[in-house]
Structure 1
Amino acid sequence: MSVFSKNVIVAFKKYPVLRGMASYGIIWPISSFIQQTFEGKRFDSDDKYDWLRCARFGLYGSCYVAPTLYTWLTIASIMWPGNTIKAAAFKTFFETITYTPFAMCSFYFGMSLLELKTFNEAVAEVNSKFWPTYKVGASIWPAVAMINFCLIPEKNRVPFISVCSLIWTCFLAYMKHLDKDNVALHSEKRSGQLLSA
């Protein structure tokens, strides 16, 4: 084993946030790549993959999501120590009402700025896409969070969440690249269908 790889292993053990950053730096661009594949992008066609989009996902996931998630998980472990169901329920509840909305707003706003959109365009995207995304997230992530807080050792929580987020990030990539007017239109149709039922 080389000196470099030994140093990387030591750094990952000493600073768990680095493991999260490394995993998010890989998983987020892969999610963008998968979402683009579902979109119809191909290597050998006129509609080729947008590698800058993948790079933006990697940069954002690694340098923003992983550190903020690590910070949240650290704070949650201090406030509600232990792996009991009660502690996990508190962590999950507070994650759903604090970190999750913060993370979703940050995602749409930050990614819009990385796309060189204006401040007002970024705010408009948050306004149109936050609630539809939050509703889906609130129906999935509490179960994942309970597993994470109850069963996963603290040092492995960020990497566990990053693996779980592969599919979720594909969904975020899909929502991110939906036209904001289409998101509003789909939400209005669903609301109308619910009211008429």
Structure 2
Amino acid sequence: MSLQVVRAWTVKYPISRGMVTYACLWPMANVTEQYLTGKKEIDLKQVLRFGVLGTFFFAPSLYIWVRISSRLIPGGASLRVGIKKALLEQITYSPYAVTAFLAGMGLLEGQSWSHIKCEWDQKFLPTWKTGACIWPIIQTVNFAFMKERNRVPFTAAFSFLWTVFLSFIKSQKVEIDENKLVEKK
């Protein structure tokens, strides 16, 4: 397959550019986290879960978010527009994304809703706060200076580092309150 064919395909189906990028970056970020935290063997099932969630959920949702934000806050690439979109993202997309990550990974791991809720209670706020410190800067640059067709791949590059962090957060044990944990029988 030639580079021209791939380019034509990504122009015809622009969502595919982000999906291909995330199909590579999310599993690689998980492998990186496992390596950095000293795992003796790479958990390939976990790598696959990151690939599935990144490719089929986060790349499309980010693509849609970029399109929606362009309609909500119209205007060309400028610093003012970039700041507005970055702030809007922190208020709307970021809480959704952290929740979707924790819930999506939990579901892919076969966890119960009660366990997912316990994990969310412990991990959502610290994760969202960390993101709120870095993503507004990245997204201001993204929305202010990047062409719309390059915004998802640009974000994906920083998403690699963020996903290493998310993988670390996900790997942290959850303290389960047995009184709140209701398993289906």
Given the two structures, how large is their TM-score scaled by the length of structure 1? 0.85
- Of 9, 13, 16, which residue of structure 2 is paired with 1:15? 13
Cα deviation digits, residues 151-191 of structure 1 (max 9, x gap):
11100000110111111100000000101239xxxxxxxxx
The answer to whether the Cα contact below 8 Å between 2:80 and 2:144 also exists between their aligned partners in 1 is: no
Q: Secondary structure at the match of 1:49?
A: coil
| Aligned equivalents of 1:140, 1:31: Cα separation in 2 | 18
- Of 168, 171, 182, which residue of structure 2 is paired with 1:177? 171
Instruction: Detail structure 1 runs of 4+ shifted over 6 Å in the superposition.
Output: none
Gaps of 5+ in 2: 177-185
| Aligned equivalents of 2:70, 2:12: Cα separation in 1 | 18
- Of 77, 88, 92, which residue of structure 2 is paired with 1:94? 88
Amino acid in the other structure paired with 2:30: S
The answer to whether the Cα contact below 8 Å between 2:78 and 2:145 also exists between their aligned partners in 1 is: no
Return 116-125 or 29-38, whichever deviates more.
116-125
- Of 151, 156, 163, which residue of structure 1 is paired with 2:150? 156
Amino acid in the other structure paired with 2:80: K
1:9: Cα distance to partner?
Answer: 2.2
| Aligned equivalents of 1:108, 1:148: Cα separation in 2 | 25
CA RMSD of aligned residues (A): 1.4
| Aligned equivalents of 2:70, 2:13: Cα separation in 1 | 16
| Aligned equivalents of 2:80, 2:41: Cα separation in 1 | 49
| Aligned equivalents of 1:16, 1:166: Cα separation in 2 | 20
| Aligned equivalents of 1:28, 1:160: Cα separation in 2 | 14
More helix by share: 1
| Aligned equivalents of 2:160, 2:138: Cα separation in 1 | 13
Count of aligned pairs between the two proteins: 175
Gaps of 5+ in 1: 42-46, 183-197
- Of 127, 130, 133, which residue of structure 2 is paired with 1:133? 127
| Aligned equivalents of 1:86, 1:147: Cα separation in 2 | 11
1:39: Cα distance to partner?
Answer: 1.6
- Of 46, 53, 67, which residue of structure 1 is paired with 2:46? 53
- Of 19, 28, 31, which residue of structure 2 is paired with 1:30? 28
Amino acid in the other structure paired with 1:67: P
- Of 12, 34, 38, which residue of structure 2 is paired with 1:40? 38
1:118: Cα distance to partner?
Answer: 0.8
Alignment of 1:98-137 (within 5 A): 98-137=92-131
1:53: Cα distance to partner?
Answer: 0.5
Given the two structures, how large is their TM-score scaled by the length of structure 2? 0.90
